[in-house]
């Protein structure tokens, strides 16, 4: 109030430009930088959060707003964020290790608040304050209307309306409940041909010849768990000879791949409260049998369902569920032979992303990784044969290699990599690494050395394992930041390793670890190697198929083809001329044209 005239002293105009500049930079760092540099995850995340802090500092100390407006807005923001967090959908509340809500909400709230400050300049005091309260409450409360279907490897969230059905719910709503009940009670019974979730088959499918390989696909990443295919040259000109879709069918969520023998494929999926092991026909996609366990695993980032891939051995299929159920089933009809609860046997709690180990069968035992601990069971009796040392958290699978004529079962885990004897689980050697949740499989190279992935920040290491008079010893040859896979397995071919450096394909020389090239953005996808053809078949995170030359001189993409809708983390499988792919929503079989030799 002016003491001379008695009139109200006009308020200083708001200083808006710092807030406008900060919020622009915040959104550039949070959402623009990942588009240009997709593998800079932490920088955008912290840029968004620190941008929100900068908005608070601007408003509190440099905006020229009245004191009540300044501190009232800040207190209301804190309260609104806190209250909203109690009403979020569980997928958002638990997403990104519990940080999804602030990571996405803070930039949105910052932008809404700055826009309010700009637009409300000419309003009366009451309207300005009322609109400020409404803006803050709306910018926070709107998040209660959403859920997320999970995140990509680059931390992009798939938001959907909270009330909209998930792909799994849509599948279940169209399934024949009577048929599902019959299958659960009698898994060996064959399904009728008319089912609601039946495959879509091309009319010409029965007349299409399907070339058969002499070696089927016994489990995770093939015969040697290395993602290598021999003896199947394919046409690479997909503009003239594109993949031919044989069939397509909906499937329950899960990140399992396939095991294949003859005309039968095996995979794992989630159907409501049941974890499912399912057998389908390769030629038509028709279901053959289904085994169910009353178990459900779900976490926000990856969603619901099993993470492991079935393993075929001597007429049985071995499966390991995300909650720790190890099954031995008859591969022909799905009859349960025996079952064990590995989590209880080993005393290991279900890890944050679920048990992800694919079973390994060797010399009469089936071995799984209960997180970072190996557990072996007698295939005939189901008796536990041995437990390995606890290596901490891990999501890799046991990997059989032979070094100096001796079999080793390798496991990547939170503490590093370990080699044990398959007969008794005795530790032969170990190589410690900085703590981390390791997922990627190791790779044995031609001279007996081993390539291991440290994590997505440190890259790949080459180690030498030697047997001397004092026992086994390990020596590091090099470490390379040129190939930094997250959960995407790599392949080795003709002295080079090919895999994902973040979301971009990369090639390194295994002699010294030097990068040869980097190119092609496929998200956090998976790949297999057609070794006889120097060819990579890449399945992108977005569900596209691509052919890339497995050559060290330069990156060269030969073909690309849309195949699946939705996030795809599952490993592709090629058996003969049939390419099998899936994600958490559907699976597809393609016939590839074979090249003339």
| pLDDT of 201 | 54
What is the Cα 335 distance to its own chain's centre? Answer: 30
Written as six digits, the tokens of 268 are 């794992």
Domain boundaries, the chain: 17-161, 174-591
Q: What is the DSSP letter of 534?
A: T
Q: Are 276 and 252 in contact (CB under 8 A)?
A: yes
Measured CA to CA, the distance from residue 503 to residue 521 in angstroms comes to 6
φ, ψ (nearest 5 deg) of residue 130: -65, -45
CB atoms within 10 A of CB 280: 26
φ, ψ (nearest 5 deg) of residue 6: 80, 5
Which parts of the chain have pLDDT scores under 50? 1-3, 5-10, 177-196, 203-209, 213-215
Q: Are 258 and 309 in contact (CB under 8 A)?
A: yes
CA within 13 Å, CB half, 513? 19
Strands (E) located in 396-534: 399-403, 406-413, 416-420, 427-432, 443-444, 450-455, 459-468, 471-480, 491-493, 496-501, 504-509, 515-521, 526-530
| Triad 333, 339, 340: Cα angle to 5° | 160
Closest CA to 362 of 432, 323, 313, 403: 313
Q: Are 465 and 403 in contact (CB under 8 A)?
A: yes
CB atoms within 10 A of CB 555: 17
| pLDDT of 196 | 45
CB atoms within 10 A of CB 236: 18
| pLDDT of 26 | 93
Stretch (H or E) spanning 151: strand 146-151
pLDDT digits (tens, 9 = 90+) for 558-594: 999 999 999 999 999 999 999 999 999 999 999 999 9
Produce one character per residue of 4-27: b if its CB has 16 or more CB atoms within 10 Å, e if not. Answer: eeeeeeeeeebeeebbeebbeebb
Measured CA to CA, the distance from residue 293 to residue 270 in angstroms comes to 10
| pLDDT of 454 | 86
Measured CA to CA, the distance from residue 23 to residue 29 in angstroms comes to 10
Measured CA to CA, the distance from residue 270 to residue 277 in angstroms comes to 9
| pLDDT of 589 | 98
What is the Cα 247 distance to its own chain's centre? Answer: 24
- CA of 49: how far to CAs of 58, 96, 202, 304, 367, in Å? 14, 14, 50, 29, 44
Closest CA to 45 of 91, 101, 92: 101
| pLDDT of 203 | 47
Q: What is the DSSP letter of 89?
A: -
| pLDDT of 179 | 46
Q: What is the DSSP letter of 59?
A: I
Written as six digits, the tokens of 401 are 């290699």
| pLDDT of 199 | 63
Q: Are 488 and 525 in contact (CB under 8 A)?
A: yes
What DSSP assignment string belongs to 451-487?
EEEEETTTEEEEEEEEEETTEEEEEEEEEETT---SS
φ, ψ (nearest 5 deg) of residue 92: -85, -40
Q: What is the CATH number of domain 174-591?
A: 2.130.10.10
Closest CA to 419 of 451, 388, 454: 388
- CA of 453: how far to CAs of 131, 262, 342, 441, 489, in Å? 53, 34, 26, 8, 9
Stretch (H or E) spanning 81: helix 67-85
Measured CA to CA, the distance from residue 483 to residue 503 in angstroms comes to 11
């Amino acid at each position: 109030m002016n003491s001379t005239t008695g009139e109200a002293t006009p308020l200083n105009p708001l200083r808006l430009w710092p807030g406008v500049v900060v919020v622009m930079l915040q959104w550039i760092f949070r959402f623009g930088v990942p588009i240009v540099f997709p593998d800079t995850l932490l920088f955008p995340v912290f840029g968004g959060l620190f941008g929100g802090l900068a908005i608070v500092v601007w408003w509190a100390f440099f905006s020229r707003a009245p004191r009540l407006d300044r501190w009232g807005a800040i207190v209301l923001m804190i309260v609104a964020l806190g209250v909203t967090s109690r009403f979020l959908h569980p997928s958002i509340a638990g997403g990104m290790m519990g940080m999804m809500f602030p990571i996405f909400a803070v930039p949105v709230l910052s932008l809404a608040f700055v826009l309010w400050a700009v637009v409300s300049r000419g309003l009366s005091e009451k309207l300005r304050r009322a609109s400020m309260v409404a803006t803050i409450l709306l910018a926070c409360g709107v998040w209660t209307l959403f859920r997320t279907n999970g995140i990509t490897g680059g931390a992009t969230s798939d938001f959907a309306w909270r009330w909209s059905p998930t792909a799994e719910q849509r599948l279940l709503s169209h399934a024949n409940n009577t048929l599902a009940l019959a299958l659960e009670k009698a898994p060996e019974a064959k399904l009728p041909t008319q089912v609601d979730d039946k495959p879509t088959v091309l009319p010409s499918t029965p007349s299409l010849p399907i070339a058969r390989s002499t070696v089927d696909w016994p489990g995770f990443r093939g015969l040697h768990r290395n993602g290598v295919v021999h003896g199947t040259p394919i046409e690479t000109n997909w503009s003239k000879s594109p993949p031919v879709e044989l069939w397509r069918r909906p499937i329950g969520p899960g990140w399992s791949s396939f095991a294949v023998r003859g005309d039968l494929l095996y995979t794992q999926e989630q159907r409501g409260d049941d974890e499912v092991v399912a057998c389908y026909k390769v030629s038509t996609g028709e279901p053959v049998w289904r085994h169910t366990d009353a178990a459900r695993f779900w976490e926000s980032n990856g969603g619901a369902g099993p993470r492991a891939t079935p393993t075929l051995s001597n007429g049985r299929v071995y499966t390991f569920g995300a909650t720790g159920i190890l099954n031995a089933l008859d591969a022909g009809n799905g009859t349960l032979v025996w079952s064990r609860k590995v989590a209880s046997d080993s005393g290991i709690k279900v890890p944050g992303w679920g048990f992800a180990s694919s079973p390994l069968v060797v010399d009469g035992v089936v071995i799984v990784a209960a997180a970072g601990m190996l557990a072996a069971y007698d295939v005939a009796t189901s008796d536990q044969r041995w437990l390995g040392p606890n290596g901490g958290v891990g999501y890799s699978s046991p990997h059989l290699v032979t070094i100096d004529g001796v079999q080793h079962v390798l496991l990547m885990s939170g503490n590093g990599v370990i080699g044990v004897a398959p007969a008794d689980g005795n530790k032969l050697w170990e190589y410690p690494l900085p703590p981390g949740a390791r997922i990627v499989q190791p790779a044995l190279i031609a001279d007996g050395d081993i390539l291991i992935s440290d994590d997505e920040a440190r890259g790949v290491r080459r180690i030498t394992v030697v047997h001397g008079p004092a026992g086994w010893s390990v020596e590091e040859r090099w470490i390379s930041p040129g190939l930094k896979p997250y959960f995407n397995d790599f392949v080795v071919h003709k002295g080079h390793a090919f895999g994902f450096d973040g979301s971009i394909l990369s090639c390194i020389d295994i002699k010294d670890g030097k990068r040869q090239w980097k190119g092609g953005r496929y998200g956090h996808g998976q790949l297999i190697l057609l070794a006889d053809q120097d060819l990579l078949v890449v399945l992108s995170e977005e569900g596209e198929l691509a052919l890339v030359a497995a050559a060290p001189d330069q990156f060269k993409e030969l073909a690309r083809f849309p195949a699946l809708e939705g996030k795809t983390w599952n490993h592709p499988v090629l058996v003969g001329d049939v390419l099998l792919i899936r994600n958490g929503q559907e699976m597809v079989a393609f016939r590839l044209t074979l090249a003339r030799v």
